[in-house]
């Protein structure tokens, strides 16, 4: 097997830079790794989400409140929103970086992407918490 390690005698990189291992982006594999981690967490959370939404079909206001405000449902939905919103934010950033070449436009698009993800996330979390906090199962 070929030795692919960087030749430390000719490398221009400082030993500190190599130890940190963050590369040219300055944040290493963080984006890639969180994208995969949320991909994994999305799977069980989305399966639960689909079941919850199916149970909500055609429900009245009172029925919908009683389903969403159930602690188990609320916690699953909170986790799902956090996982999904982060996953989609990272995914859209990859698409922007692939197709938007103008630097100013790219920065604007990445910022807008982050804002959108935060707005969606906060709106969902607020609504779930508002509906479910204070309910005691009797």
Partner 1 sequence: MAEAKVAPRPLSPHLQIYRWSWTMAMSVAHRITGVALYGGIALFAVWLVALASGPDVFDTVQWFFGSPVGYLVLFGYTWILMHHMLGGVRHLVWDFGHGMEAAQRINMARFTLIGSVVLTLAIWVVAFLAF
Q: Under the rule (CB under 8 A), what is the footprint of partner 1?
A: 36, 39-40, 42-43, 46, 50, 53-55, 57-59, 61, 64-65, 68, 84-85, 88, 91-92, 95, 120, 123-124, 126-128, 130-131
Sign of torsion, CA 26 30 31 32? positive
Q: How far is the CB of 19 from partner 1 (least distance, A)?
A: 25
Query: Residue 47's Cα: distance from chain center in Å?
Result: 17
Q: Which is nearer to partner 1, 11 or 59 (CB)?
A: 59
Q: How far apart, in whole angstroms, are the C-alpha atoms of residue 91 and residue 101?
A: 17
Q: Which is nearer to partner 1, 6 or 53 (CB)?
A: 53
In terms of Cα–Cα distance, which of 124, 52, 126, 53 is closest to 83? 124
Q: Is 102 helix (H, G, I), strand (E, B) or coil?
A: coil
Q: How far is the CB of 89 from partner 1 (least distance, A)?
A: 9
Q: Which is nearer to partner 1, 22 or 117 (CB)?
A: 117
Q: 39 CB contacts (<8 Å, ≥6 apart)?
A: 87
Q: How far is the CB of 66 from partner 1 (least distance, A)?
A: 11
């Amino acid at each position: 097997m070929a030795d692919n390690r960087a030749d430390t005698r000719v490398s221009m990189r400082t030993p500190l830079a190599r130890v940190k291992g963050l590369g040219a982006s300055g944040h290493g594999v963080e984006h890639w790794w969180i994208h995969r981690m949320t991909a994994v967490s999305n799977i069980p959370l989305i399966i639960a989400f689909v079941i919850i939404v199916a149970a909500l079909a055609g429900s009245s206001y009172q029925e919908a409140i009683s389903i969403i405000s159930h602690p188990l449902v609320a916690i699953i939905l909170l986790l799902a929103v956090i996982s999904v919103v982060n996953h989609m934010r990272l995914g859209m950033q990859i698409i922007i970086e692939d197709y938007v070449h103008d630097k100013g436009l790219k920065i604007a698009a990445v910022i807008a992407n982050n804002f959108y993800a935060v707005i969606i996330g906060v709106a969902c979390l607020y609504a779930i918490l508002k509906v479910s906090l204070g309910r005691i199962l009797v």
